[in-house]
Amino acid sequence: MALDPPTDAAGLSLVKPPTRWTRQLILSISRVWAFAFLAMLIVLFSLSVAASSNGSVNFLTLRNSQNILVAITPVLLMGLGQTFVIIAGGIDLSVGWVMGLASCVSAMALRDLYNGGMDFTLAVILGFAIGVASAMLVGGINGVIIARLQVPPFIVTLGASFVARGVALLLSGGQTVSGLPQQIRDVGNESMLYYLGATGQWSIFQRPEIGADQLRSLDRVLPWPVVMTAIVVAIFMFLLHKTQFGRHTYAIGGNKEAASRAGVPVMRHTILLYVMSAMTAGMAGVLHTARFTAGSPIAGDPLMLGSIAAVVIGGVSLFGGVGRISGTVIGALIIAVLQTGLVMLNVEPFWQFIVVGIVVIVAVLIDQSRDLIVGRAEG
């Protein structure tokens, strides 16, 4: 959606159209600024952390990079669904509490199935499937109300967040759902690769047998939650950029009326988008359950705004019709690198909110500048 330039009483533009060179420069900056900003942050924190610790602590290490990847997993998963919804001109404010609902439901289902005598692997599969299905149910209700009743998505998903919150707290009794089989810890905390720095040894799929004195030199590379998230990212990237479903998403965000006239099933597509958004939030919830061997009704509460921030920082237009999955990945990485770097510099945690907020505002300003340039060019 392009912004209209200011006009005088006669309807003539008061702003001189930008030159072709200026237009290309601004559009290029809007596309690559997030990548450049991420690279700058990594260099800045690498130098500042080393300087503040007199070289005893390094920011750019294998272990720290894996910690950052694990930290962005739930934010990125929720951000993937948000990317589709926001590109289509909507918003989903329920994903945080939907994640908590899925975490509780999956934990309770897994615990009860396993304690009832079911095989562990089958109990995990069914338990996680039930958790994600509970999230998708909320997304389906959101989509139907938004698409069929034409209620603004902001209101619908805000109300759904309260409903999901209440249901999660009722099911869990306001407490963490515990009593899960300890084997589930392997799913959430083990890795595809292991590197033992003391000996330079690599191990695939299985953690090497080591003594307590070597534990500090063992690095987990590509934890399973990160691998699973990477697979989802690849699928969603293909879906958005290489399929008719993705083209319809862009069309609806660009102009819903025109998309409908062109034969795009706007109502059905909108419902599917909100189901997808809830599904990714549900996946984040079950991975939280696996990682912490417990279900938490408040697991996603502090992460919801972070997922939207990652999408916006990554260049997805809040006006709809513009955005890429790769941008959301970069946005999530920027947030995680900022938070990790500030912690390693012993900066008070409250500053993290201020810095992330400033970055979000800058991203929106760049987004509006891009839309204004496009609007002038089209005018």
Question: What residues are paired with 202 via a beta bridge?
Answer: 195
Segment among 58-67, 146-155, 243-252, 276-285 with least mean pLDDT: 58-67
* DSSP labels, 183-233: THHHHHH-EEEEEETTTTEEEESS-----GGGGGGEEEEEEHHHHHHHHHH
* CATH code, domain carrying 220: 1.10.3470
Number of domains in the chain: 1
Is residue 2 a contact partner of residue 374, using CB atoms and an 8 Å limit? yes
pLDDT at residue 378 in the model:
45
User: Residue 148 class from Cβ within 10 Å (0-12 exposed, 13-18 middle, 19+ buried)?
Assistant: exposed
Establish if 14 belongs to a structural domain: no
Segment among 125-134, 141-150, 183-192, 271-280 with least mean pLDDT: 183-192
Establish if 167 belongs to a structural domain: yes
DSSP 302: G
Establish if 4 belongs to a structural domain: no
Say yes or no to pLDDT of 362 above 50.
yes
pTM of the predicted structure, to 2 decimals:
0.87
Establish if 344 belongs to a structural domain: yes
Establish if 352 belongs to a structural domain: yes
Establish if 3 belongs to a structural domain: no
pLDDT tens digit sequence for 219-275: 888 889 999 999 999 999 999 999 999 999 999 999 999 999 999 999 999 999 999
Residue 83 CA: distances (Å) to CA of 3, 143, 240 = 21, 15, 10
Establish if 7 belongs to a structural domain: no
Rounded mean pLDDT of 47-57?
A: 86
Considering only CA atoms, which of 327, 325, 148, 139 is closest in space to residue 243? 325
Domain of 231 in residue numbering reads as 20-378
Q: What is the mean pLDDT of the chain?
A: 87
Establish if 269 belongs to a structural domain: yes
